[in-house]
Amino acid sequence: MSSDETRLTVFRGKTAYPVYLTIGNIPKAIRRKPSCRAQVLIGYIPTTDLGKMTNKTARCRALGNLFHACMENVLAPIAACGELGVVMMSADGIWRRCHPILAAFVGDYPEQALVTCTYNGRCSKCQVPHDQLGEYRSFSPRVQSDAINIYRLANNTPVFWKACREAGLKPVSRPFWASHQFTDIFLSITPDILHQLLQGVMKHLVRWLSSPTVFGSADINARCWCLPLNHSITHFETEITMLSHLSGKDHKNICCVLLGLIIGLPLPGGQASSHIVQDVHALLNFLYLSQLLSHTTDTLRRLQDSLALFHDNKAVFVDLST
């Protein structure tokens, strides 16, 4: 499943955002390309601001209940077929009993928080406290059966609200995934490389590197303009530190040259920049490895090594900023 609250579809002055469905045995290289049309539109979720409700907390809770009620109606056929099975013809012409199960949900972070009933600023997959998100530690994952047991207390309002507050969950009356027996919604959340890494971490990294306390925008832009024209990299005609409304492709093109732009640049006060280069190198390695279509034990180990190297040297970001 995938959805995106972009509100691109207009029906006579009313807005809605679409919900798409695809199947997992389609190769990922085809599923991920909109031009291949491997996604099927199965419904529209209505959007409203509920302006007549003056209480902000009640309005947010009503919007969450509206979303989950709509999704439960849309996915009701899948919930029944996933448990009992349905006879379908395979590509080889043989009829088999299949069990369609909601296995993955693709969406931006706001949609992830909405689907998993977690609060903004909290992890949708584990129980890390909001003030420890930057620490290099492992935390216990969220368990769907525990969440369902909490939502079964919805009729007992005081106990239900207390249990939700302790578990870090929104007090939704009935999440749509509670009726899907073989679905684990917390495991189904997929990484959002575009917004979390390219337009998140890398955007802030470029802004920090170009700050006056680090390398400054003048030196980085001057080096970028001096790059010779070739077919492997993009030549930016304007200052990369002043670009706005960048797409994911633009951030990828900046990442291709970012390490070369800072190697050898002096820091204010004559400080060594080796730790900064190591951290940027580690983040870029993590970015490129995370975009692999499939992983092995070796690539997962390299991901962990890159992340550990970043956390070993991340104090330099704080030191130079202060």
73 and 164 co-located in one domain: yes
* pLDDT category of residue 8 using cuts at 50, 70 and 90: low
Among 188, 217, 242, the domain-final residue is 188
User: Two tokens at 131?
Assistant: 């003030």
- 176 with 257, same domain: the answer is no
Does 300 lie in the same domain as 213?
Answer: yes
pLDDT tens string 75-115 = 988 888 888 899 999 878 999 999 889 999 998 888 999 99
Query: In the structure, what pLDDT confidence band is assigned to residue 285 with cuts at 50, 70 and 90?
Result: very high
Q: What is the mean pLDDT of the chain?
A: 86
Q: Which of 170, 188, 206 is the last residue of a domain?
A: 188
Same domain, 171 and 239: no
Asked if 134 and 253 sit in the same domain, the reply is no
Residue 13 has pLDDT above 70, yes or no: no
Last residue of a domain, one of 188, 213, 235: 188
Question: Looking at the structure, do residues 165 and 212 belong to the same domain, yes or no?
Answer: no
Q: What is the tally of structural domains in the chain?
A: 2
181 and 254 fall within a common domain: no
Answer yes or no: do 163 and 296 share one domain: no
Residues 248-265: what's their mean pLDDT? 86
**pLDDT (mean) for 225-245:** 78
- Let me know whether 72 and 199 are in one domain: no
For residues 33-39, give the mean pLDDT. 87
pLDDT over 90 percentage in the chain: 28
* Claim: this prediction has a pTM higher than 0.75: yes
pLDDT, residue 199, reads: 87
Q: What is the pLDDT of residue 283?
A: 93
Q: Are residues 246 and 209 in the same domain?
A: yes
Is 147 found in the same domain as 276?
A: no
Q: Which domain holds residue 204?
A: 193-321
Quote the percentage of the chain above a pLDDT of 70: 96
Q: Which of 4-18, 44-58, 277-291, 304-318 has the highest mean pLDDT?
A: 277-291
Q: Are 150 and 298 part of one and the same domain?
A: no
pLDDT at residue 12 is higher than 70: no
**pLDDT above 70: residue 11:** no
